[in-house]
């Protein structure tokens, strides 16, 4: 029952937001990152499409958080699943000031020591500049791009 309710109705609420993250925010924000940062060619349509869809999803989350501290009642695995994507709002071309409830929630989440510890795992292996992603071998592995020639 820790971070995932025993009560069925509460558990379903957590499940709904986990599914929302897995089927919506995660894939759409991931595509936003790909086309804004990593794609070898910049396709304006794709950049706009995924940036705008991520903005729409942030609006859904902002509305949800309008009158509650956490996404599904108490702090849960749903919050944990969402925070990893939400913390990357700048890379997704979003203005967090447009989403005050989301911003409050994100600030609360990022202040939690356990969240800080979780986000620190593997930090030394991350490439925030995206430079490693320009390596054709890396692109082949991650994106299925075959080297030209």
Question: Using one digit for the tens of pLDDT, what is the confidence trace for 13-47?
Answer: 999 999 999 999 999 999 999 999 888 889 999 99
CA distance 32 to 20: 17
What percent helix, strand, coil does the chain show, rounded to 5? Answer: 70, 0, 30
Q: Which two tokens stand for residue 42?
A: 């910049």
- Asked if 29 and 92 count as a contact pair (C-beta separation under 8 A), the reply is yes
CA distance 79 to 84: 9
Residue 19: its pLDDT value, please?
97
Q: What is the pTM of this model?
A: 0.88
């Amino acid at each position: 029952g820790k971070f995932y309710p025993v009560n069925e109705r509460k558990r379903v609420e957590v499940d709904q937001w986990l599914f929302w993250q897995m089927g919506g925010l995660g894939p759409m924000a991931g595509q936003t990152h790909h086309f804004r940062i990593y794609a070898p060619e910049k396709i304006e349509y794709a950049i706009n499409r995924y940036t705008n869809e991520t903005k729409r999803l942030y609006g859904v989350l902002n509305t949800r958080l309008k009158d509650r501290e956490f996404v599904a009642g108490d702090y849960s695995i749903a919050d944990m699943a969402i925070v990893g994507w939400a913390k990357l709002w700048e890379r997704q071309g979003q203005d967090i000031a447009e989403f005050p409830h989301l911003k409050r929630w994100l600030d609360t989440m990022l202040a939690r020591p356990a969240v800080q510890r979780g986000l620190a795992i593997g930090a030394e292996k991350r490439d925030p500049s995206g430079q490693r992603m320009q390596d054709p071998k890396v692109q082949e592995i991650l994106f299925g791009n075959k080297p030209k020639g």
